[in-house]
Structure 1
């Protein structure tokens, strides 16, 4: 094995100082293009790839990474189309800054607690239980934070979408089509599952806001509500929740869903039960993820701009990290992005509701 190549090795080869070689890698604007090219060529010839990242991070007091804290498992980031779209936009926005994403769960089981133990310059708290120990650890570490899809905190920058307004638009849509017996399909990981006597058991910021938006319109209209709650938005759970609403004699003529993934489960359950969409049932989702325009019938939904949300979240976090680095007062901005109702094939006028005991 040959001798270890260091910055001094390259400096001796080119005939410059060790600091000049270091600047060629970390502060290229300090050197002429010709000199930097000479140094990099010598480094390549000697087999030197650059300063040790850990040492560079220690020297500048930065890890070069930002965390994204999930309530769900990290697998959720790769399987949920909304999460993947959001994270992709963050990664694209962060690319020019040199910051990388570290995906972490809010789990506090085991010896390693990500929010406590993983090195990062700041974190996005994404759709988490704000009472979790993970969020508490982030605050105690005094890391720059940005909340996304979370209840607003006066002291923490946040990025949300107009969940309530979008849900209200969906509810108005089904009312305008003549629907008065309407199903609400919620999602969550805590509390009772199954049919709900009242729909107020929404969990998390987005769920609560979407429920409030539905009720803003359906309550004054005197609509008859049939609500159910399921565990997560997997296809199996979504079909199970949907059948609670549809496999009954007084089934709703329209179903408003917390997400497009859940709405897809309603479409599957309707097909299994021989219920025509939209002839006998209108289905409305939320998010406008790629699935919404690929399923048949295509799905009426509320669109959120995932790319804009990701860019806004990344920009807010990089600004918070920079303010923390310089010690400058950090402005706290609460961004709310608009939503848009997208009407597709799963919407139809209310059909006569089935009578108890009648054939489907």
Structure 2
């Protein structure tokens, strides 16, 4: 490997462009080879005019630039962070909350020059990007804590930050106050007079269908915290909810779960939903069954997803500041990376962002004619 990070393309090709080296550029400009190298890796050591001449000559000669791998070895940094998502990377491009979160991270990292690599938490066999890809640190975002990918990253001793995960003493974390927000949502329904309340839970593993929320644990930090918050209000009121556990967080899974709650004679008069997407699914099923919201059924979502104000009626929901969460996650990870480079030690920081109930049109007092 070239000591100065010349690209492999510049060293091994068969035409004129692929044989260009730092020395070729140095000869063209009339400077030393090290000066040319500094134009790419240490621009502050050259005058703007000289660097401009060197880069113009490199462009004219077709120089592709320093080899990223060699440059990373020389600098001791890759310039990339990983973001570990759920088992499907498609989630990052289809879920409004995930895209807002990732966009906030990208915006916060822009001044640092750090790039982002998306990683799946699924065990894909021989190909394990979390093990094989070079990165300076990683964000673990709303993943199954038992995933082997999380363990791989921990064994690599990379700087890590947990987001929407159970906090760990020695790893920085960023969470929203799911429990307080969920408690407020449940109390809102109780204050309206609802007693028959359903829960639409979300989980990646375990049985789908009607469950006892006090017995069957949920996987996922947010799922558990939201369930605990709901129960914080429901138990003192003497309310035992009807609960359905759905597999996944998507719209179709939500529709399946909602039908189990609504297509029955003793259906609830109100439903607390894991997310706004889940509430949207329940809203669709209610319409198909001729159940009017909020006259016959009140619905409460969570997240304050843009979809909450796009559907009719607009959803009562719990707001979380997803962009603030993304910025806090990016800051925590850059701090962890910086601490690792300078001292090798870091005092983990744990950020808990507030939530708040947003009352809109999908909730009302139970109708006297509701069965």
Give the TM-score, by structure 1 length. 0.95
Q: Which residue of 2 aligns with 1:14?
A: 29
Question: In the alignment, is residue 246 of structure 1 matched against residue 258 of structure 2?
Answer: no
Q: Which residue of 1 aligns with 2:343?
A: 327
The SS at the match of 1:112 is: coil
Alpha-carbon distance in 2 for matches of 1:35, 1:197 = 72
Cα distance, 1:71 vs. partner? 2.9
Alignment of 1:291-310 (within 5 A): 291-310=307-326
Contact 1:183 1:255 in 2 (8 A): yes
Structure-2 change in CA distance of 1:204 and 1:353 (3 Å): farther
Matched residue count: 355
Contact 1:242 1:269 in 2 (8 A): yes
Alpha-carbon distance in 2 for matches of 1:353, 1:213 = 30
Contact 1:67 1:104 in 2 (8 A): yes
Cα distance, 1:37 vs. partner? 1.5
Contact 1:164 1:211 in 2 (8 A): yes
Cα distance, 1:353 vs. partner? 6.3
Q: Which residue of 2 aligns with 1:142?
A: 157
The SS at the match of 1:96 is: helix
Cα distance, 1:98 vs. partner? 1.6
The SS at the match of 2:324 is: helix
Alpha-carbon distance in 1 for matches of 2:217, 2:368 = 30
**After alignment, is 19-28 or 300-309 more displaced?**
19-28
Q: Which residue of 2 aligns with 1:84?
A: 99
Alpha-carbon distance in 2 for matches of 1:65, 1:227 = 42
Instruction: Structure 2 unaligned segments of length 5 or more: list them.
Output: 1-14
Give the TM-score, by structure 2 length. 0.92
Q: Choose which of 208, 212, 230 in structure 1 pairs with 2:224.
A: 208
Q: Choose which of 116, 138, 141 in structure 2 pairs with 1:123.
A: 138
Q: Which residue of 2 aligns with 1:185?
A: 200
Structure-2 change in CA distance of 1:49 and 1:116 (3 Å): closer
Alignment of 1:1-360 (within 5 A): 1-2=15-16, 4-199=19-214, 200-352=216-368, 354-355=370-371
Cα distance, 1:136 vs. partner? 1.2
Q: CA offsets, 1:225-276, max 9 Å, x none?
A: 1110001122221111001111111111110000111000000010001111
Q: CA offsets, 1:77-109, max 9 Å, x none?
A: 112111111111111211221211111112223
Contact 2:81 2:115 in 1 (8 A): yes
> What's the Cα RMSD here?
1.4
Alpha-carbon distance in 2 for matches of 1:350, 1:272 = 20
Cα distance, 1:328 vs. partner? 4.4
The SS at the match of 1:299 is: coil
